[in-house]
Amino acid sequence: MNSEYNVFSRVDKSSAATAEPGMDEHSVGVVADFNLPQFLRGAGALAVGISGLVYMLQGLNGVDDALRYWAYLVLMVVLAVGGVFSQSFMKDAKGARLFFALSCLLVPVQFSQLSAMLHDMLVSHAGDIGTSPLAVVGGVSAVVGGFSAYFGLCILARPYAGYLTVVFLMLNALLLIPLRGFIPVSLLCVFILVAYVFVDRTIFMRDRRFFLLDGVTVKSMLLLPGVVVMSRYGFSVGDFFGVCLLASVLAAGAAFVSVKYVTNASIKVLSLATCFTAICLGWLGMAVELTTGFHSALAIESDYSVYVFCVPLIAVALLFAEVSEHQFFYRCLALLPNVVVNICVLVSGNLSVVVILALASMLLMGYALIQHSKSILVVGGVSVALSVGEIVLLSIDAINIHAWLGIAIVGVVLLILSSFFERFGRSLLNHGRASYSEVQSWSF
């Protein structure tokens, strides 16, 4: 083939003059646009990531001590050395960045398996792990992880490498806590989130480098311990619950990346739709496991389960409506579970459940007023009217009262309302007309 063609470059040097006989211009352009190094980097990173995920999911069973203790420590060192080799000898800056980034991202994997060993030794008493080997492996892990994180952050965010290394190791040290209960996990997630927000406000928001790919990698490093904590809790509840939780968390992260960094409109629309579907399906799976599954964790009445299923779906749809260009589409999707909630609650005949619906509908109307959405305002208003009517009917049915006394009470209420509207009716009418004109200008 002609020497002008270079599969290792994005520069398209192909033309009719440089193409081989039998190849048209379109074929040559397609081949020349293929970037082999980028493809190999992506495939290698994906393989390492899947390896770490499978390693954490399969647990410690069937893994001998030597492999369990040292495998990912050695892999972190190999990746760090590969980064130095790529930068110093191959002059491949992109490859060096990827090597160091993967070395850093494997630190939570190592700390997570150390936590599993601690859990086996201190909580479940299921393993035969000695204190001395665990202390040695833990110390070596801290040293190797610290050096890997520091060298990686020197490449990705040099001015802040020392500070971010300390924060990163501190967040990973939280993974060593062997507790798997809901409250300890919630506290850990809150602490990790607070630490991330603090770093975001003090560093990330003040330096434009963190809006580029290297900066996104650093942000992902600090959030990864939180993802591990949540996923670990999910799998402690049940395998199905863990898969659903992990899928939802990863989809939420992918949606954030799509909103912030994807510029192609078609790819962004497809990515957000895929992430929305994954989050909703993941939550439905978790809701089944929490309410009716074998590992049921929420001891609630069946009448309240509809809120567990539908309210998060409404919130996710409204959130996607705010970040997507197809706002009306996601708002319509948010109305579907709202209809399901109304039907189930009104049919249940449970007064407390209906009161919750009335309050939630008022919150939905408040959201509609803030976002200037006619469709959400109408649906929220209808829900409030139906729930209030149901509350009145259930209250009347619950109170044993004579018919003549009930009619008298209704008459007194009507007389009071007549005086109220006599005094404020005109001003209320004028205010209603002005509000209607304003609502007419809102979007759906």
Between 370 and 317, residue with greater pLDDT? 317
Residue spans per domain, the chain: 1-32, 35-237, 400-440
pLDDT grade, residue 136 (50/70/90)? confident
Kindly report, residue by residue over 237-246, the tens digit of the pLDDT.
667 777 888 8
Between 36 and 309, residue with greater pLDDT? 309
Report d(CA 272, CA 256) in Å as an integer.
Answer: 9
pLDDT grade, residue 42 (50/70/90)? low
**Chain mean pLDDT for the chain:** 74
User: Does the pLDDT at position 126 exceed 60?
Assistant: no
User: Does the pLDDT at position 328 exceed 50?
Assistant: yes
Kindly report, residue by residue over 351-380, the tens digit of the pLDDT.
888 888 888 888 887 877 777 777 777 777
Identify the pLDDT of residue 5: 35
The tokens 């806590």 sit on which residue? 177
> What's the token pair of residue 252?
């939420």
Give percent above pLDDT 70 in the chain. 70
Between 397 and 230, residue with greater pLDDT? 230
Out of 37-46, 117-126, 282-291, give the one with best mean pLDDT.
282-291
Q: Which of 70-84, 152-166, 269-283 has the lowest mean pLDDT?
A: 70-84
User: Does the pLDDT at position 13 exceed 50?
Assistant: no
What b/e readout covers 147-182, taking b as 16+ CB neighbours within 10 angstroms? Answer: ebbbbbbebbbeebbeebbebbbebbebbbebebee
How much is the average pLDDT of 143-165? 85
Q: Which of 48-57, 71-80, 408-417 has the lowest mean pLDDT?
A: 48-57
Q: Which of 66-70, 72-76, 92-96, 110-114 has the lowest mean pLDDT?
A: 66-70
What b/e readout covers 59-75, taking b as 16+ CB neighbours within 10 angstroms? Answer: ebeeeeeeebbbbbbeb
Kindly report, residue by residue over 279-301, the tens digit of the pLDDT.
999 888 888 877 775 555 555 66
How much is the average pLDDT of 91-106? 76
Q: With CA atoms as reference, report the closest residue to 314 among 354, 284, 351.
A: 284
| 145 SS3 class | helix
Q: Which of 107-116, 210-219, 388-397 has the lowest mean pLDDT?
A: 388-397
How much is the average pLDDT of 377-397? 78
Out of 3-12, 23-32, 128-137, 363-372, give the one with best mean pLDDT.
363-372
pLDDT grade, residue 128 (50/70/90)? low
Identify the pLDDT of residue 115: 78
CA dist 250 to 75, 226, 256, 282, Å? 24, 12, 10, 10
User: Does the pLDDT at position 86 exceed 70?
Assistant: yes
pLDDT grade, residue 277 (50/70/90)? very high
Q: Which residues pair with 373 in a beta bridge?
A: 443
Kindly report, residue by residue over 231-267, the tens digit of the pLDDT.
777 776 667 777 888 888 888 888 887 887 777 888 8
Report d(CA 177, CA 186) in Å as an integer.
Answer: 13
Report d(CA 180, CA 232) in Å as an integer.
Answer: 8
Identify the pLDDT of residue 198: 92
User: Does the pLDDT at position 10 exceed 70?
Assistant: no
Identify the pLDDT of residue 44: 67
Identify the pLDDT of residue 14: 39
Half-sphere exposure of 185 (CA within 13 A, CB side): 14
How much is the average pLDDT of 427-438? 67
Report d(CA 227, CA 254) in Å as an integer.
Answer: 13
How much is the average pLDDT of 191-220? 86
> What's the token pair of residue 284?
């439905």
Between 39 and 124, residue with greater pLDDT? 39
Is residue 346 within 8 Å of residue 386, measured between CB atoms? yes
